[in-house]
Amino acid sequence: MSRKIDKPAAEWREQLSPMAYRVTREKGTERAFTGEYWNFWESGEYRCVCCGAPLFASAHKFDAGCGWPSFSTAAAPDNVEEAEDRSHFMLRTEVLCRQCGAHLGHVFDDGPAPTGLRYCINSASLRFRPESGDDDAG
């Protein structure tokens, strides 16, 4: 798929922390209960750490008890895409940033009403912007 933002690996490596690069560009994951946003409850929006596209809102965040930030819906559905993931001998639905192709995490059908979805997202793929619109935190 053609992306609005397409950079060589060397540029992504310069821009991102080693963990953010591993998660977003190599489809890695952070260990549960270790990411910056898994137990973070301030009001604002979560953007792609790679390109800054708005992805999720704190209003849709909930404690799924899984150790990763969890959202019941994408705040900007046009900025999120899904793909089949058959890695690790499982069938899952991968969540990606539509703008730059960053791996964000996975979506499952065990979330709360009204969507029934749980977007299980790596903190390393996100950058938080407080509701006030001040400088990005994190």
Specify the amino acid at residue 104: L
50, 51, 100, 120: the active-site residue = 120
- Whole-model pTM: value is 0.89
Whole-number Å distance between alpha carbons of 23 and 29: 5
CATH of the domain at 48: 2.170.150.20
CA gap 120, 105 in Å, rounded: 6
Distance CA 138, CA 129 (A): 9
Is the CB of residue 55 less than 8 Å from the CB of residue 81?
Answer: no
Asked, for residue 134, whether it belongs to a domain, the answer is: no
* Domain presence at residue 84: yes
Domain hosting residue 92, numbered range: 9-129
pLDDT tens digits for 50-76? 999 999 999 999 999 999 999 999 998
Q: What is the pLDDT of residues 27-38, one digit of tens each?
A: 999 999 999 999
Is 116 part of a structural domain of the chain? yes
Write down the pLDDT at residue 138: 45
Residue 103 forms part of a structural domain:
yes
Q: Is residue 27 part of a domain?
A: yes
CA distance 136 to 39: 18
Is residue 60 domain-resident? yes
Number of domains in the chain: 1
**In what order do the strands lie in the sheet containing 44-48?**
54-57, 44-48, 126-130
Is 100 noted as a catalytic residue in this protein? Answer: no
Q: In angstroms, rounded to a whole number, what is the distance separating the alpha carbons of residues 93 and 115?
A: 16
Tokens of 85: 């993931």
